[in-house]
A and B are shown apart, each in its own frame.
Chain A
Amino acid sequence: MASPLFVVAGNQLRLMARDNRLRLLSVAILLLAAASLATGAARLHAQALERRAATVQDQALWDNLGPINPHGAAHAGRTVYAPVSRLAAFEPGLSDFLGSSVRLEGHSQNPSRDRPMEGGTAISRFGGFSAAWALQVVGPLLIILAGFSIFSGERARERLKQELGAGASARTLVFGRLIGLAAAGLILLAAFALTGGFVLALGGASAAEAVGLLAITAGYGLYLTTFAALTIGASALLSSARASLVLMLGFWAVSTLLVPRIAPALAEGLHPTPSAPAFEAAVTDEAKNGVSGHDPADERLDALKQSLLKQYGVSKVEDLPFNFSGVALEFGEKNSTDTYNRHYEALFGAYGRQDAVQQAFSLASPAMAVGPWSRAFAGTDFAAHRLFLSEAETYRYALIQSLNGDVRTNRPNTDDPYLADVSKIGADLKFEHRPTTPAEAWAAQVANLKILIAWLLASLAFAAFAATRLERTT
């Protein structure tokens, strides 16, 4: 004989399945999400092809520079292109706000550029619909609409009296219906995940991407179950369906729409970041005058020159066994790179502090925890982008210093400038990218998982409290 809990849950599911409005709304949302997945996947495929073609074109441009001074080649520079995460079709995350390429050149650690958000109009502020967004914003709304009147309202209260009179406990009814409501949410989630999985499989997904999708699904499972428990709790606690609806819609609006907008603005206010020109000016100033502001790079280079002259026992740079211009270029590059690294570390530190402020807001909204979780496993968060930036920088520094090294080892014997075939100089250097692994995402997101679990436990406790009150008041 089936447990009464599951009998109640089964009945609740059947009741919801008979509600045409809910069925229609769920199917509509699922279809929209599927359409967004399909168009997103097509867009990503086109982006991946475009970036691959651009990479080939960049290689050809570099190889065809012809005889050129290596430092001139360092200024001509190269471009590397950000990888495309297939899971971005499901969870675009920050993709539209991250640059898709980085221009690599001497003296500069350029920020990434060509962000898809550029060049929009007023409607661009309304973008961002995706399967993950639907789960984050529309999913809870559907659960609220399906569950706000389960116990509240005149008819529901009358039915409840009869059910309690028939021997069922309020706790069984509350948790049975919670299982039913949560199951409905999880069925919708499973449909999303299967559609996502199908689209991923068509694109030839890797095992890591499949694990990523599973982790995202699990995160949303916790999130939607939390909303189901809160809705059932509110419905059991408030006898008026109107009050229950207003309370839950208010919570939904605050947690899924307001907090995700207010928290970043507050975080930015508390831990401001500089504008790009101010950042560049600060780097230029420090590279020129040193960290203390009183340690000019010219003097440090002069000290290096003096020590080399002393080491080789000569009185002028022309007598050194290598080209001092190359040494100066290497010194300059190291100086500017160290400066950039310090400033980027400070900048990313500010990002981290902003993210911590936003995470604190997850106490008011579980959406603030599930969003970063979802983005991390989709490889569309800043951590994934930072990995790309760091790999680009490692490659840039190695390339530029190999060009400068070539200048150091080749001293022209005539007044003509030294020219070289730079395609051969950096031939052994390759820009290689590896995507973030699920293990890395897990390590970075454990705190958000704990927050989601805490939300679920708190919402279950709320439902249990509401069940106790219901038992007492009915």
Chain B
Amino acid sequence: MTTLVAITRHELRRALRDRALPWLLVLFAALAAYGAWNGAHWAKARAATVQLINEEIGPLVEMRREQLAEAPAGTWPFSATPQLAPFRLVLSPGAMAPLSIGQAEAYPYAARMIPLQDITMFDAFKVDVDNPAVRAAGRFDLAFVIVFILPLVLLAAAFDLWSRERERGIAALVLSQPVGPLTLLGGKALARAIVLLTPVMAIVLLTLVAFGAAQPDGLIATALVVIVYGLFWIALATLINVFASRSTEAALAGGAAWLAVVVLVPALALAAANVLSPAPSEMRFSAAYLEQSRAIRKEQRQIREARGPEVVADPAPKIPDRIRNFFKERTVEDQRLAPLVQGQLNARAERRAVLDTLRLFLPSVAAQDALDRIAGADADRAVSFQSQALAFTAQTKIWLGERLKNDQPLASEDYDRLPRFQFREAPAGAFQTGVLADLGALAFAIALLVAGAVLGRRAAASL
């Protein structure tokens, strides 16, 4: 242990003298700041859009109130019928949004709803008008800097951990001392980890705080992800140095490992998933939904027409009976369409489960997933919004049914008492199960690399 500490101390002094290190850290800090600025800029724009959507309600309610005010005493305008009550359901960016844009653009983030609305209420928010060429290039956010660029910085600073000594012929001298190759490499790796990851973590946290992402548990979770992911790359550089006897060889192996871990293997895993477990077709679903919906409505219209003209009750209710019949018809339609909708939701969930499982075998994806979750830009949060919005719609239908049953139109003051949608975040916050699973996957990958280094220790001692 004393030897390890002595080696680490010595290596710390050496690493701190590395003239390239400050430049690498300055480069990383500049890219991190730019990434966080992009993330913060995106979060601000999304928050403004969410506000714009929320503000749509005001003029609508105002118009309804004017119509109510203008209606002759004792009469109720059509707009007072409660099935027209307008709702806007929105998913605001998370408190740590500047960290990652993640999957927040791949899911609807709002819904325009009236109580009889169906799943199509999200459709308007599935489209975008930004430049697809910009979107296709991929977002340059802080998560990108951490997942894609941090490994390059770490490899650049640690790729010749041991190979340089071997190349210069110093390794024989060092190993002639009473110290094992593993202890030596462990000390070197530890020193590099301390010298590199401490400032990197500080840069990431300071950048986040500077751009307004200052949630304490989010910052702690981000720091943990940066450290564990960084340790994975230091461990990988160490393993490469166990086997590479020349620095050029180590550099090539490091570059190849980066390309494989960060670029090729995740891309190929995704391509394989697309073939073996393709995404359910949204186009087919939309077409089937429309077809079945129209068929049901046609059937209902025929039944209505066969029944003949509607008999108006005397005295006439405040809300006409045809609205109640309309409500009944839509309820039946919902029930008949439910299997189709549920089938699509299940197929989407199955697809996500496959992709989510894959991440546990891919360290870079696990790190990305953890950062997305901390930022509130993950798929699960977006799907949870949709589920909560659909549950809210179901509750609102019950509310509507009650009002129709009790013949209660919406009076001016009722607009202030409409049910309100409030998105409920994951209870564990930044330390939700998904983040812990990602950290576990990264820790397991580190353990595998360490085991590889231990098994190959004889190669490290060869000169």
Chain A residues with a Cβ under 8 A of chain B:
32, 35-36, 39, 42-43, 50-51, 54, 57-58, 61, 64, 66, 79, 81, 93-94, 96-101, 110-129, 137-138, 141, 145, 149, 153, 241-242, 245-246, 249, 253, 257-258, 260-265, 267-269, 273-281, 347, 350-351, 354-355, 358, 372, 381-382, 385
Contacts and interface: CB of A to CB of B under 8 A. Distances in A.
B133 A51 contact: no
Interface string B197-231: 00000000000000000000000000000000000
B131 A382 contact: yes
B127 A261 contact: no
B106 A111 contact: no
Contacts of A66: 298
Nearest to A46: B278
B158 to A, nearest CB: 14
Interface string B119-150: 00001111111111111111110001000110
Contact of A261 (B126, B144, B266, B378): B144
Nearest to B286: A114
B99 to A, nearest CB: 13
A245 B49 CA distance: 47
B133 A94 contact: yes
A58 B288 CA distance: 10
Given A116-B279, A124-B270, A261-B144, A275 B45 contact: yes
Nearest to B377: A122
Contact of A43 (B127, B259, B274, B358): B274
B316 interface: no
A127 B126 CA distance: 20
Contacts of B102: 122, 125
B53 A277 contact: yes
A50 B255 contact: no
B323 to A, nearest CB: 19
A358 B286 contact: no
Nearest to A60: B291
Contacts of A121: 103, 352, 355-356, 359, 369, 378-379
Given A124-B103, A126-B266, A382-B133, 14 more contacts: A36-B271, A61-B291, A118-B106, A122-B369, A125-B368, A126-B263, A126-B267, A129-B270, A242-B247, A273-B130, A276-B128, A281-B52, A358-B133, A382-B132
B132 A94 contact: yes
Given A242-B251, A245-B251, A268-B134, A123 B269 contact: yes
B30 to A, nearest CB: 11
6 contacts: A81-B283, A123-B269, A268-B130, A276-B125, A277-B53, A277-B124
Contacts of B139: 265
Nearest to B132: A97
Contact of A123 (B138, B275, B362): B362
Interface in B134-186: 134-140, 144, 148-149, 152
Contacts of B103: 120-122, 124-125
A276 B133 contact: no
Interface of B: 34, 38, 41, 45-46, 48-49, 52-53, 102-103, 106-107, 110, 123-140, 144, 148-149, 152, 247-248, 251-252, 255, 259, 262-264, 266-271, 273-275, 278-279, 281-284, 286-287, 290-291, 294, 298, 348, 351-352, 355-356, 358-359, 362, 364-365, 368-369, 372, 378-379
Given A125-B368, A261-B144, A110 B52 contact: no
Contacts of B127: 99, 110-113, 276
Contacts of B137: 260-261, 263-265
A124 B355 contact: yes
B283 A54 contact: yes
A106 to B, nearest CB: 16
The 10 A-B pairs at the shortest CB distance, nearest first, are namely A126-B266, A129-B267, A122-B369, A264-B137, A264-B134, A97-B132, A275-B49, A121-B355, A111-B127, A265-B140
Best-surrounded residue of B48, B144, B263 (most CB of chain A within 10 A) = B263
A87 to B, nearest CB: 16
Nearest to B369: A122
Contacts of A128: 267
Contacts of A57: 287, 291
A319 B149 CA distance: 74
B283 A119 contact: no
Given A42-B275, A122-B102, A129-B264, A267 B136 contact: no
B426 to A, nearest CB: 15
Contacts of B358: 123
B362 A111 contact: no
Contacts of B291: 57, 61
Best-surrounded residue of B127, B129, B262, B290 (most CB of chain A within 10 A) = B129
Contacts of B131: 264, 267-268, 273, 350-351, 354-355, 382
A127 B133 contact: no
Given A94-B132, A262-B140, A265-B139, A123 B359 contact: yes
A451 to B, nearest CB: 16
A110 B279 CA distance: 24
B129 A94 contact: no
Best-surrounded residue of A122, A257, A258 (most CB of chain B within 10 A) = A122
A32 B132 contact: no
A351 B130 CA distance: 8
Best-surrounded residue of B103, B123, B294 (most CB of chain A within 10 A) = B103
A468 to B, nearest CB: 26
Contacts of B144: 261
Nearest to B41: A269
Best-surrounded residue of B278, B283, B362 (most CB of chain A within 10 A) = B283
A97 B128 CA distance: 10
Given A126-B364, A382-B133, A32 B45 contact: no
Best-surrounded residue of A81, A145, A257, A269 (most CB of chain B within 10 A) = A257
A78 to B, nearest CB: 11
A122 B372 contact: yes
A279 B264 CA distance: 38
A124 B287 contact: no
A129 B45 contact: no
Contact of B279 (A32, A42, A119, A281): A119
